[in-house]
Chains A and B, each alone.
Chain A
Amino acid sequence: MTGPQGVGIGWRSEIAGFVAELPGLRFVEVVAESLSPGNPLPAGLAGLRERGVTVVPHGVRLSLGGADPVDPARVTHLARVAELVDAPLVSEHIAFVRAGGLEAGHLLPLPRTREAVAAVVANVRRARAELPVPLALEPIAALFDWPDDELDEADFLTEILDATDAELLLDVANVYANARNRGEDPHALLDRLPLDRIAYVHVAGGAEYGGLYHDTHTDPVPTEVLELVGALCAGRRPPALLLERDGHYPPADVLRAELDALATAAGHPVVT
């Protein structure tokens, strides 16, 4: 299957009907843990595959940044899902989601230390040994940093990518959120990231609570994030950008307008 191209959307069962009717759609992402390799694909997703739409499995619970070795059963599941949808690549996060026997229920940031770089790199290698396709890594949005960071966000990411053969899944909304919540310039952070490693891009909405920007995926995409997309695409335009929406789904025309705004900001054809 070809790599992700153009403007895509995160496939969720709640919006399967909407996604099925997007005439120009060439790629979607599906949460890997939501699929069972032993069962047939959900009808909506199977229909997209028949149309030749690229499906990228996106893992959220591998915990690649955990100090412990990644769970082989979770890697196997991701590998089987990749085969099930004939994926050109899979993606996961630079984060941990459990430790000490407790599930955090969310993607948590790593301390930006060399010890953490080594833990991620080791887990990426373990995963890659099992996966039939390349792996793209996504830096997360975090509301806090660890107290003893040795590296800044750009250097931390660059060290991980340089030590692995992983590609970059760049979430522009996460870049915006992290820079803004540190009181820094999102464009300056973007410029320092290893953009030449981008496989595809995430864009999502968020909202401000108590002075902090939260990457909610349940709110509209802010103008500032679309401007950052424009700045990114004014350089070397990434081959694909994907809108993530995970709840509080708006009416179809509003969602269509968000996809159109993303296509316009990126300079890709509209898919609606």
Chain B
Amino acid sequence: MSPTHPVESAPPPGPVGLAARQAALVAALVAGAPLPAGFATDRVDAARRALLRKRAGEVARHWPLLAAGLGDTWPATFTDWASGRPTVGSLRDGWDLARGLRDRDALPPLGAQELAAREATHRYDGRHPPRRRRLPALARSGDAVALQVAGRVRLLRPARR
């Protein structure tokens, strides 16, 4: 074989050193990066799916109405959304998912009410942790309208459908 001929069968050089190797594994598990050479693909994939199930349960605890509104479709809805998307914490994960569902008209009424109530109490730019609003605020999500005054939220209009 000539030295200039590419060696196709050689595996790509993997990351070297514990820090780089740990980073590559986490990226493969949560951010859709390729799995470094040598791991048992089926085992790591089982761990990745177990991790998504665990995340679904944690987000459901922060967003109980969103999860209840989706019912049996909650685990699949969440894992489809979260696969390849690293967590930014259960509160923000659920918030981002709820907004995404709202934007494509797929947010169930209970989830719309929960999102409206959250949006009335907190300001969330989608990039930084939510911050509590100091002033009264009105928030809508689909049909649902929530009013927050002095930290207390009232649902002015429930979501229909």
Partner of B19, one of A67, A103, A212: A67
Contacts of A142 in B (CB 8 A): 47
Summed over the interface, the residue pairs from A and B with CB atoms below 8 Å come to a total of 84
Contacts of B137 in A (CB 8 A): none
- Is B134 an interface residue when CB atoms closer than 8 A count as contact? no
**Is B26 a contact of A102 with CB atoms below 8 Å?**
yes
Q: How many residues on the B side are at the interface (Cβ–Cβ under 8 A)?
A: 30
Please, how many angstroms separate the alpha-carbon atoms of A35 and B121 in the complex? 23
- Is B44 an interface residue when CB atoms closer than 8 A count as contact? yes
Contacts of A101 in B (CB 8 A): 23
Q: How many residues on the A side are at the interface (Cβ–Cβ under 8 A)?
A: 32
**Is A108 a contact of B29 with CB atoms below 8 Å?**
yes
**Min CB distance, A57 to chain B, in Å?**
20
**Is A68 a contact of B19 with CB atoms below 8 Å?**
yes
**Min CB distance, A96 to chain B, in Å?**
6
**Is B43 a contact of A103 with CB atoms below 8 Å?**
no
Contact with A along B64-95 (1 / 0, CB 8 A): 00000000000000000000001100000000
**Min CB distance, B79 to chain A, in Å?**
13
- Is A183 an interface residue when CB atoms closer than 8 A count as contact? no
Please, how many angstroms separate the alpha-carbon atoms of A207 and B4 in the complex? 53
- Is A104 an interface residue when CB atoms closer than 8 A count as contact? yes
Interface centre among B21, B57, B87, by most chain A C-beta atoms within 10 angstroms, is B21
**Is B26 a contact of A108 with CB atoms below 8 Å?**
yes
Contacts of B54 in A (CB 8 A): 105-106
Partner of B46, one of A116, A148, A210: A210
**Is B46 a contact of A67 with CB atoms below 8 Å?**
no
- Is A214 an interface residue when CB atoms closer than 8 A count as contact? yes
Please, how many angstroms separate the alpha-carbon atoms of A115 and B16 in the complex? 12
**Is A105 a contact of B44 with CB atoms below 8 Å?**
no
**Is A111 a contact of B43 with CB atoms below 8 Å?**
no
Add 19 more A-B contacts to A100-B22, A214-B50 (CB < 8 A). Answer: A67-B17, A67-B18, A99-B22, A99-B26, A101-B23, A102-B86, A104-B29, A105-B87, A106-B51, A115-B18, A143-B43, A144-B39, A144-B44, A146-B39, A147-B37, A147-B38, A209-B46, A212-B43, A247-B57
The 5 sampled A-B contact pairs (Cβ below 8 Å) are A67-B17, A102-B30, A103-B26, A143-B43, A144-B44
